Chain A
Amino acid sequence: MERGTQLVKRGLAEMLKGGVIMDVVNAEQARIAEEAGAVAVMALERVPADIRRHGGVARMADPAKIQEIQSAVSIPVMAKARIGHFLEARVLEALEVDFIDESEVLTPADEEYHIDKWQFTTPFVCGARNLGEALRRIAEGAAMIRTKGEAGTGNVVEAVRHMRTMNREIAAVTQLSDEQLVSAARDLGAPVELVRIVRDEGRLPVVNFAAGGVATPADAALMMALGCDGVFVGSGIFKSSDPEGYARAIVEAVTYWEDAAKVAKVSTGLGEAMAGIELEQLSEAERLATRGW
């Protein structure tokens, strides 16, 4: 009997496909998310929009918060650790969270190294803006990838940019001959063995979700249409005027994204989405996606 294997870690990510993972900050929100049909929740101290507003150093959530949420729902509970903060990750593993997000939404703890994720029984999800970054995280042991997007903005433009970049780079890799692989790996900054897998399979070797700026059912459907396996929604649900309604509608739009009439139906009469931020209004220092490499 073997635990913590790659198959078991990547396997849980496969089970989340076609689903929505929602940021929650307490047991009540977690129950709303589960009732709406979320496949998992991300337990947080504050949603990204509030992290932006609050400022200061953003850290792993209080274990009491995570345990409160774990005891409220039966679906998987994820939690965020700072980039490179392997001790926060060890704490989350000891708390038996189901997935650890090594996240740029929190303040990075190490500007040189990401966590060596092979050392853990708990699987990790990491953000990426392009193929090379995704493959570096997978090389470090990530069992799932998500676009970074730009969290807490309610603006899907960066998630779209990251997914389109990934798709374009994967398409280019599939055209490579064996002799071109090493140079391509050098240019991508990724191990050649992973580049070879992407060339042969035409996709990442792990599940790839959208994250960072998804605020409406149509945003979620758009990310599915671009080829994402599922969607993370952070501030988009509990910063809207009707969290129950938005949560349900986004779940339904992810399942029926190909059916615009159904997306129209679930989007009808939802009320105000979260207030968004135009990316031009953010200074370089306020951009979370540039954290990590």
Chain B
Amino acid sequence: MPRVGVLALQGDVREHVRALTALGVEAGPVKSHEQIESIDGLVVPGGESTTIGRLAERFGLIDPLRRRIQEGMAVFGTCAGMIFLAAGVTEGTQPQLGVLDIVVRRNAFGRQNDSFEADIPIRGLDEPFHAVFIRAPWVEKTGSGVEVLASVDEHPVMVRQGHIYAASFHPELTDDDRVHRMFLDRVATDS
């Protein structure tokens, strides 16, 4: 059975662990170097990307995470997780892994009053997906190897680059498990 870790520096770790466990994989929080070496796939949860990035930097987790992902470990980032995986942000600088060739606009839809729920089509899924966007980012620029899987008002909100998946919404907050399943199919193929 593949082991999937949820990066547990900060954020909605519990919701991802629950979604993954319900799909029959061994899932749990990871926050140490040793734990990062022992997993087959990784989820970077929603939270505050500046907090997650700074903690990863201070506790020496940036290099091991980057190395494992570059060596092919499947990874899925939601919201803050998308920002953490990305190569850059449109404004300022913050610690990022830079493994996903996109530039992200943070809080792109606005502040909390503009947070929303909507049914969006996702490439690879037959029916629309009910997506929850919370102070969500969108993808401002994509590199050549990046496939756009979903957009809102022509702004990409879900992308894939080989074994790296990222969404600016929160599939872990609803009962629909199709996006997590898409990611786990990739984990299973690789392991």
> Mind listing 17 A-B residue pairs with CB under 8 Å?
A3-B113, A3-B115, A7-B174, A14-B46, A16-B47, A17-B12, A17-B47, A19-B51, A37-B55, A40-B48, A76-B112, A97-B111, A98-B112, A252-B58, A252-B59, A255-B10, A255-B55
From residue 103 to 139 of chain A, which have CB atoms closer than 8 A to chain B? 121-123
User: Are the CB atoms of A1 and B135 closer together than 8 Å?
Assistant: no
Answer whether residue B22 sits at the interface, using C-beta atoms and an 8 A cutoff: no
Q: Is the interface of B mostly helix, strand, loop or mixed?
A: loop
Shortest CB–CB separation between residue A268 and chain B, in angstroms? Answer: 15
Cβ 8 A contact of B51, one of A2, A3, A38, A93: A38
What interface size band does chain A fall in? 35 or more
A55-98: contact bitstring with B at CB < 8 Å (1 yes, 0 no)? 00000000000000000001110000000000000000100111
Q: Is A246 an interface residue (CB 8 A)?
A: no
Query: Is B2 positioned at the interface, with any CB of A under 8 Å from its CB?
Result: no
Are A3 and B48 interface neighbours, CB within 8 A?
Answer: no
- Which of chain B's residues have a CB closer than 8 A to the CB of A1? 116-118
Among residues of A, the one whose C-beta sits closest to the C-beta of B8 is A18
Q: How far is the CA of A18 from the CA of B134 in the complex (A)?
A: 17
Closest A residue, CB atoms, query B106: A74
The distance from the CB of B49 to the nearest CB of chain A, in whole angstroms, is 9
The reply to whether A18 and B111 contact each other, CB–CB distance below 8 Å, is no
Map CB proximity to A onto B23-54 as digits: 1 under 8 Å, 0 otherwise. 00000000100000000000000111011001
**Distance between A282 CB and nearest chain B CB, rounded to angstroms:** 33
Please determine whether B113 and A15 come into contact, CB atoms closer than 8 angstroms: no
A62 → chain B closest CB, angstroms: 19
Question: Contact: A76 with B117, CB < 8 Å?
Answer: no
- Chain A residues proximal to chain B, CB less than 8 Å: 1-5, 7-8, 11-12, 14-19, 34-40, 74-76, 93, 96-99, 121-123, 248, 251-252, 255-256
Complex contact B50–A18 (CB within 8 A): no
Cα of A40 to Cα of B106 in the assembled complex, Å: 15
Q: Is the CB of B113 within 8 A of A93?
A: yes
A81 to chain B, nearest CB (A): 15
Residues of A within 8 A of B124 (CB): none
Contacts known (A3-B113, A12-B115, A74-B92); A19 close to B48, Cβ less than 8 A: yes
Proximity bits, B1-16, A CB within 8 Å = 1, else 0: 0000000111111110
Contacts of B100 in A (CB 8 A): none
With A251-B54, A251-B55 already in contact, 15 other A-B pairs whose C-beta atoms are closer than 8 Å: A3-B113, A8-B117, A11-B134, A12-B134, A14-B15, A17-B11, A17-B47, A18-B11, A18-B13, A18-B47, A74-B92, A74-B107, A76-B135, A97-B111, A98-B111
Complex Cα distance, B112 from A12, in Å, reads 8
Cβ contact within 8 Å between A7 and B132: yes
Given A4, A39, A122, which contacts B48 in the complex, CB threshold below 8 Å? Answer: A39
In the bound complex, residues from chain B placing their C-beta under 8 Å from that of A76 are 48, 111-112, 135
Is B75 part of the binding interface, using a Cβ–Cβ cutoff of 8 Å? no
- Which 3 residue pairs of A and B lie closest in terms of their CB atoms, listed nearest first? A98-B112, A18-B10, A39-B48
Taking the nearest CB of chain B, how far is it from the CB of A220, in angstroms? 13
Is A8's CB under 8 angstroms from B132's CB?
Answer: yes
Chain B residue nearest in CB terms to A2: B117
With A11-B170, A17-B12 given, is the CB distance from A75 to B50 under 8 Å? yes
Q: What A residues does B80 contact at CB under 8 A?
A: 15
Q: Please name the residue on chain B nearest to A1 by beta carbon.
A: B118
Q: CB-CB < 8 A to A256: which residues of B?
A: 31, 59
Residue B79 at the A interface, CB < 8 A? yes
Hey, which chain B residues are within 8 Å of A248, CB to CB? 58
B182 interfacial by beta-carbon distance below 8 Å: no
Instruction: Verify if B176 is at the interface (C-beta below 8 Å from A).
Output: no
CA distance A75 to B83 in the complex (A): 13
Question: Contacts A15-B12, A15-B134, A255-B31 given: A5-B117 contact, CB under 8 Å?
Answer: yes
Nearest A residue to B111, CB-CB? A96
Q: What CA separation (Å) do A39 and B134 show in the bound complex?
A: 14
Instruction: Report A-chain residues with C-beta under 8 Å of the C-beta of B106.
Output: 74
Contacts of B188 in A (CB 8 A): none
